[in-house]
Structure formats: structure tokens, C-alpha cells
Amino acid sequence: MAPGPFDAIVLGAGGAGLMCAAVAGQRGRRVLIIDHGREPGAKILISGGGRCNFTNLHTAPDRYLSANPHFARSALGRYTPQDFVELVERHGIAWHEKTLGQLFCDGSAPQIVRMLLDECDAGGVTLRLGEAIRDVGHADGRFTVTTDGGAFDAPRLVIATGGPSIPKLGATGFAYDLARRFGLMVVEPRPALVPLTLPPGEALFHSLAGVATPVVARCGGARFGEAALFTHRGLSGPAILQVSSYWRHGQAIGIDFLPCRDAGWLVAAKRSAPRTTLRRLLGDTLPDRLAATLAEQLGVAATLADTRDAVLADGEKRLRDWTFLPNGTEGFAKAEVTVGGIATDGLSQRDLSATRVPGLYAIGEAVDVTGWLGGYNFQWAWASGWAAGEAL
């Protein structure tokens, strides 16, 4: 006998889908979740270095990228980081703030998945895992989902299958194909929060693989003060991951290697330590190998006393806005999230329903809303899942 009946089917057992199903289930809706993966919350399990950076206290719409920068305001305003913290505390999960408002489990990420599954249990949610979706039909106001395991139907369908970042964890572009079939537009998906690659010509920097330093990284109008890390292929580290979400092919990245030094530092150093060299001076502020590479690139080998003020001022200018021209990113295989996705102009800001397809919803990373690094993406998953779950 076919299981059911169901009031809603949620496609995807990630953070957004689990939250949505739990909320709707606890409101008395009969909810089915279908996922082709065997493990619910696969990305939660590996997030935040295994401790899940589950939210950010500084969550605000301006920390999200979207073609409509106001779209996320309603959902984020109605389900806040504090709401999620209360849920976490209700489940006895200890947490701490690491830095910049980022909240992590003291224990480990599986606690968050266990919490969401317990919430789903409390709502009587049915989970079907490890089932590939063969077809999704829509007729007479009902959605029919056919999987390896059978056919299931409901008057409401939630697309929560995320974006294509990290395919080896089961990520696909399924959400976009499905959305298009229902007449929704898709904003070009691009890898985001992803390392940038540098062309072979930047060999000197490639040789710095493993060196990290605090910087301010800039791309267009976006600026982030955090660490940058040189890699064998180019640039990574939080500051670079942040600007990567804004980066487009052909655009330059600017890096300030001296964020903690006052303007005019080099010329002032010439007065206080005339016998030192640029390399040694930079070595007081930057890792030694990086200091050597930058001094070499600037072509300043003499002591500061023997270097003209204008040359030092010019050098400082470059050190404060060192330009890299990346030739690409490490792609979806390494991207923490996807920028772009199901266009927000076909969705309600309040409950994430499709304005032209009654009963259809899209939530989480599948939607064209992408957060900064640091817990913002999970907060969007919870908030959008909650908003849809309240409406189902």
C-alpha cells in the first residue's frame, strides 16, 4: 500500500529541508522528506571543521548576495540567530562564539543533525533516504514525486535540494532543473566561498604555499579584513573566500598587506631605523617568506636610508593594494556554497512560495540568496525553512 497521505513533500534532507519539515510537522502537517543521499544533513556533518558554525550573531540582509538584496529580510527577521540558539539550548547542545559573531558547537556537528531529526520526529515527519527521484509531476493541484521506492503525492512541494557545490556530498543542480520546469527563472549559479587560482606567471606567489597573513581583501566594492592563505594553486583563507563570492572572471583582487600599519609607515621607518632593509622591516609584520617575496617584487634591496622617500611611498602604496588577477576558482568541487540559484522574483519573501505555482516552495541554498562566510548560510537555511514550514 502507498504510504501517506501527505500534506507536503520536501525534496532534500539538508538543513533547510529538515527545519521546514520539522516546523510543518509540529504544526500538524503530514510531511514526507525525500533525499537521494543516505545521510541526512551531510553538509552539516562536515561543516565548521566538524563543529558546525550554525549561525552568526551579526546576521543582517546586507551580509547576503542576491539579485534582490531585500529579499531575505522578511525570513531572516522572523527567524533569528537567537531563535536557533534557543533551539540548540533546548536540546542541551553547548556552544561558543569563536570570532566575528560565529557560533559553533562545543561538541560536534552531528549534534545539530540529531537535534533536527529529533524535531522532525516530534512532528511525525517521514524520511525516505537513499531514494533517487525519477520524476516530479503536477496535475489537478497535486504534486507527484516518483522515486526508486514508489510514487508519493501531496498538494505542497518544497524544493530544498541545495546548490551544486561539493558534488561528492550528493549536491546537484536538480533544484534549478525542477524550478525551470515550473516556469521559475534561475540566476546563473557560480561557485562561491571558493579558493581563487592564479596564473602560472605568479610563480613567486605559488612558492609561498602554506603562508597565511591577516589582510584586507577587496573585490569591487566588497572588502573583508581576515586572513589570506597562499596555496599551490593561488589564494585561499577566509578573506579570499569572502571576496570570491563577489568575483567575476577578468576582475582584479586587491590585497592590503599592511592593514595594521599607519599610513606613511615606510617613510617613518626610514627615520627611526635607517639601516634596516625593506625585507627585514616587512618581516616584523609579515611572515618571513612573504616579506622576502614582496620586497623582491618591489625591487627594493638597499637599506631604507639608501632608498628615496618617493620609492618607499610608492612601495607602501602597492603593499596596501597589491593586485592579483585570478584566472579562475577551484570550482564547485571546492566551493562552500553557490551564488545565484532560483530567482527570487518568482518567490514570496514571506513564505518562499512560488507566486505563480500554488503549493510550490523553494528554500535554502537552492534560492538566489548566498551568505557571507561564518554561519550566515546555515542561518538562511534555518530561516527560509522555518518561513516555508510555517506556511505549509
Binding site for ligand FDA (CB under 6 A): 11-17, 35-37, 42-43, 46-48, 52-53, 133, 160-162, 165-166, 170-172, 174, 336-337, 364-366, 375-378, 381
By beta-carbon proximity to ligand FDA, the closer residue of 48 and 234 is 48
CB of 54 to ligand FDA, least distance (A): 7
CB atoms within 10 A of CB 185: 14
By beta-carbon proximity to ligand FDA, the closer residue of 108 and 327 is 108
Q: Which residue is nearest to ligand FDA (CB)?
A: 14
Answer whether 364's CB lies under 8 Å from 354's CB: no
CB atoms within 10 A of CB 310: 9
CB of 182 to ligand FDA, least distance (A): 15
Question: Which residues fall within 8 angstroms of residue 147, CB to CB, at 6 or more apart?
Answer: 34, 128, 131, 132, 133, 134
CB of 387 to ligand FDA, least distance (A): 13
Burial of 367 (0-12, 13-18, 19+ CB in 10 A): buried
Answer whether 160's CB lies under 8 Å from 34's CB: no
CB of 246 to ligand FDA, least distance (A): 17
Answer whether 240's CB lies under 8 Å from 372's CB: no
Element (H, E) at 177: helix 174-181
By beta-carbon proximity to ligand FDA, the closer residue of 162 and 195 is 162
Answer whether 162's CB lies under 8 Å from 171's CB: yes
By beta-carbon proximity to ligand FDA, the closer residue of 282 and 363 is 363
By beta-carbon proximity to ligand FDA, the closer residue of 160 and 388 is 160
CB of 253 to ligand FDA, least distance (A): 22
CB of 320 to ligand FDA, least distance (A): 31
Of 333, 253, 245, nearest to 64 (Cα)? 245
